[in-house]
Structure 1
Amino acid sequence: MVHSNDLSLPPLALLPAVMAAARNGSFSAAASEMGVTHSVISRHVAQVEQWLGYDLFERYGRGVRPTPDGQRFLRETQAAIDLLSQGAQPWRQRRGPDVIKISLLPSYARIWFLKLVPEIELDLNVRLELEITERLADFDGGQTDIAIRCGKGQWPGTKSSLLFADDLVPLILPKLLDGRDPHSLDANAIANLPLLNDSDATGWRHWLAEHGVKYRPKPSDRRFEDYSVGLSAADAGLGVILARLPFARTAIGNHDLIMLPFAPVRSPLATFLVQPAYDQRPAVRAVAERLITAAKACG
């Protein structure tokens, strides 16, 4: 069939009947699903076939099955419907609070984030759905709206906003000093103590290098994937941990740890709020701005 406009759309209002017929394998079942008569389904399918210029279905007995051309059309039409639905979903006006999906590490949740949730939800009329995980955030298909991660702020396909530029200061339980004056310790003395690593040795390697000491792993050193667990381990006297200021300042006050008298060393890593590169709906942007403001207030 020749069309006056090759870029014209198919009769969109008729497509639900076509898709229902394909799902159910009969016009009668499609009519029952949609609450219309058999003749309405038949007429709508015929009009779409007329527009296309080929048959969508083979008729047999009381049923129908897609033709090869029909299979291709139905497959591509369903893909287009799914894409349109996914693209439109974030912008729909919601009757209740907008759900914002936030992915963050357990330590961020315990030390900083959870206490912000009630006020943000109340002020912005949103519900924050938290994914507490060590895994990388998945922004595809709306799985995550915002992620809070530690790194260098360079993740492909994302944009990052700085939350905390971590400054590193060693923390220790006083009993590990064995009566020594904290001011008497130099970086070499610290390096000989059991060192508690946050995920990996990046922090200690950098801190010691800034004081002219090479980091050498020891059997007494320990590694913790979660920073808040590392703080608890330091509080139990298992070793020395680096405070990540200002992020961990509140947590430090809840432990018996003391800061050793060294000037803070800026970490090569920082804490970032991470979002997909594409534009997000207003509620997500509002939550992101609120978190950035809250982080600045901790500085």
Structure 2
Amino acid sequence: MKLPPPPTLRAFEAAARRESFLQAATELGMTAAAVSQHVKALEDWLGLALFERRSRGVRLTADGRELGAACSEGLGHIARAAERLTARKSMARASLACMPSVVTHWLGPRLPRFRAAHPEIQVSIVYPLGSLTPDEAGADLLIGHGTRPPGRADRILDAATRPTCAPAYLERHGPISTPADLLKQDLLHDATEAAWQSWLAARRIEGPTLAGPLYADFNLLVSSVLSGLGIGLCPTALITDHLAAGTLKVLFDEAADEDKAYWLLSGGDLSEPAAILRDWLLAEAASSASIA
């Protein structure tokens, strides 16, 4: 690719856009004579006249207009790309490893508030993929589920699950007045039947084998609950927005998995952006707990 000398193109683009050597000189921080020399050098390189020189100024020729448009477009692309790269380099970053169910039903709806408060911080969310610590996940922070883990961990959300259904399901299949009534309902299972068996056994409720769909992922389960397919044991802390909107209803306060929680684990020395994200997550969790 054979290009004219870049300084001549920059001077010509400004002169062509303003159709004035003097105004181009002011923009570029050089003299009008220097702009004129660059333009003359470009004309000599091309073997074309780009401007008509007149006593009261200059005027683009047809060739000059064509090249001027091309230069403005090309230099504009370069300027915008440089701005993007500079902004990307200067943007602060914080990363969080988090299971999809927490992102979908709790974190995701709240992230716009973080972005509004901290537009300078770019948050990266990654899959934990079985990782037990932020370092294993390659992240600053990690939200995990279970009993209290070792290391620096803050309890952010209750993981207790309660029988939950959509109002439409209750209208079709209610009333459901006691836990024993659940044996006659369509129970949906998160991975295995064990959770429902444990919940019913804790209430000394015995019945037939619990038939019903098994879901490999909580997001699939709650989608079916929302559609009115049946009743699921859902972590109340993850569905507070649905409860507030009236799209889901907790049938009984008795819970399972009360010994478990969602924990926010922090890595070693947190960067300032990661520390800001951590503090924000803790504040959001406290707000969610007060609503729940």
Whether TM-score is above 0.5 comes out as yes
The amino acid that maps onto 2:205 is: V
- Give the number of the structure whose alpha-carbon radius of gyration is greater: 2
Which residue does the alignment assign to 2:19?
A: none
Q: Kindly tell me: are residues 202 and 105 of structure 1, through their superposed partners in 2, closer, same or farther at Cα, counting changes over 3 Å? A: farther
Are positions 1:163 and 2:156 aligned together?
yes
Query: What's the counterpart of residue 98 of structure 2?
Result: 104
Provide, for residues 160-197 of structure 1, a one-character-per-residue CA deviation record: whole Å limited to 9, x for no partner.
211112343212244467553222xx323314433223
Q: Which residue of 1 aligns with 2:187?
A: 195
Helix, strand or coil at the partner of 1:220: coil
CA distance in 2, matches of 1:248, 1:108: 10
Q: Measured at CA, do residues 181 and 252 of structure 1 come closer, stay the same or move farther in structure 2, by a change above 3 Å?
A: same
CA distance in 1: counterparts of 2:205 and 2:255, whole angstroms: 14
Matched, 1:209 2:204: no
Match of 2:141 among 139, 146, 149: 146
Shift of 1:138: 5.9
Tell me the distance in 2 between the aligned counterparts of 1:216 and 1:289: 47
Q: Does 1:117 align with 2:111?
A: yes
Structure 1: distance between partners of 2:269 and 2:193: 36
Shift of 1:228: 2.7
Matched, 1:279 2:274: no
What is the TM-score when the length of structure 1 is the normalising length?
0.56
Preserved CA contact (<8 Å) 1:160 1:272 = yes
For 1:101 and 1:149, the matched residues in 2 are separated by 14
Q: Structure 2: which 5+ runs fail to align?
A: 1-87
TM-aligned CA distance change 1:265 to 1:140, over 3 Å: closer
Q: 1:98 to 1:206 in 2, by over 3 A?
A: farther
1:222 aligns with 214
- 1:248 is matched by which residue type in structure 2? I
Deviations 1:42-97 (A, max 9, x none): xxxxxxxxxxxxxxxxxxxxxxxxxxxxxxxxxxxxxxxxxxxxxxxxxxxx9622
SS in 2 for 1:218: coil
Q: Distance between the aligned counterparts of 2:228 and 2:219, measured in 1?
A: 15
* Unmatched 5+ stretches in structure 1: 1-93
Shift of the 291–132 alpha-carbon distance from structure 1 to 2, 3 Å rule, reads same
The one-letter code of the counterpart of 1:211 is R
Per the alignment, in what secondary structure is the counterpart of residue 90 of structure 2? Answer: coil
1:295 deviates by: 0.6
Partner of 1:291: 281
For 2:133 and 2:270, the matched residues in 1 are separated by 15
- What SS is found at the alignment partner of 1:298? helix
Cα offsets for 1:135-182 (capped at 9, x unmatched): 436633881111112211225xx4221111234321224446755322
Question: Does the 8 A contact of 1:103 with 1:148 survive in 2?
Answer: yes
5 Å-filtered alignment, 1:167-186, equals 167-173=160-166, 174-175=168-169, 178-183=172-177, 186=178
Aligned position for 1:130: 125
Query: Counterpart of 2:253 in 1: which secondary structure?
Result: coil
Identity in percent = 16
Aligned match of 2:45 = none
Q: Equivalent residue for 2:223?
A: 232
Could you say if the C-alpha distance between residues 99 and 147 of structure 1 is closer, same or farther in structure 2, counting changes exceeding 3 Å?
same
- Residue type of the partner of 1:194? D
Q: Say if 1:106 and 1:133, in contact at 8 Å, map to a contact too.
A: no
The letter for the 1-side match of 2:279 is E
Q: Aligned ranges for residues 27-66 of structure 1 at < 5 Å?
A: none
SS in structure 2 at match of 1:153: coil
Alignment-mate amino acid for residue 204 of structure 1:
W
Name the CA shift for 1:136/1:263 in 2 (closer, same or farther; >3 Å): same
What is the root-mean-square deviation in Å for CA atoms of aligned residues?
3.0
User: Across the two proteins, how many residue pairs are aligned to each other?
Assistant: 199
Q: Give deviations 1:104-124, integer Å, cap 9, x for gaps.
A: 111111111123323324434
Q: Cα gap change, 1:259/1:135 in structure 2, threshold over 3 Å: closer, same or farther? A: same
